[in-house]
Amino acid sequence: DTEVTQTPKHLVMGMTNKKSLKCEQHMGHRAMYWYKQKAKKPPELMFVYSYEKLSINESVPSRFSPECPNSSLLNLHLHALQPEDSALYLCASSRGVPGEGLETQYFGPGTRLLVL
């Protein structure tokens, strides 16, 4: 089983709202990732958690706040977003962590976010 689940599937929020995206995997993977994908573009890495600790932040604005409550869960908290933040947000996981080997990343279906 290589399933990564994400909720919600769709989200519409105003610029003053606070919302959260959720990602879950039960494969025992030790790394989890958040990506942002704009239309007709490849995914862009935002954050990496290795062993439940934030290991990479790709200079993402502070209005995006990741959280890893346990080894199976990854959240992305959203606050005061801008319309240009509208995109597909993808979560991924891998058995190994960056820097320790060549690992396949498995992606969830994504949350399509619209900021009004």
Q: Which residues bind another protein (CB under 8 A)?
A: 2, 6, 33, 40-43, 45, 48, 55-56, 58, 88, 90, 92, 98-99, 101-110, 112
């919302």: which residue's tokens?
Answer: 19
In the three-class reduction of DSSP (H, G, I as helix; E, B as strand; rest coil), residue 30 is classed as coil
Question: Shortest gap between Cβ of 15 and another protein (angstroms)?
Answer: 25
Question: Shortest gap between Cβ of 88 and another protein (angstroms)?
Answer: 8
Cα(97)–Cα(93) distance, integer angstroms: 9
Question: Shortest gap between Cβ of 103 and another protein (angstroms)?
Answer: 7
Give yes or no for a contact between 92 and 35, defined as CB atoms under 8 angstroms apart: yes
Nearer to another protein among residue 28 and residue 99 (C-beta): 99
Nearer to another protein among residue 78 and residue 110 (C-beta): 110
Cα(110)–Cα(38) distance, integer angstroms: 12
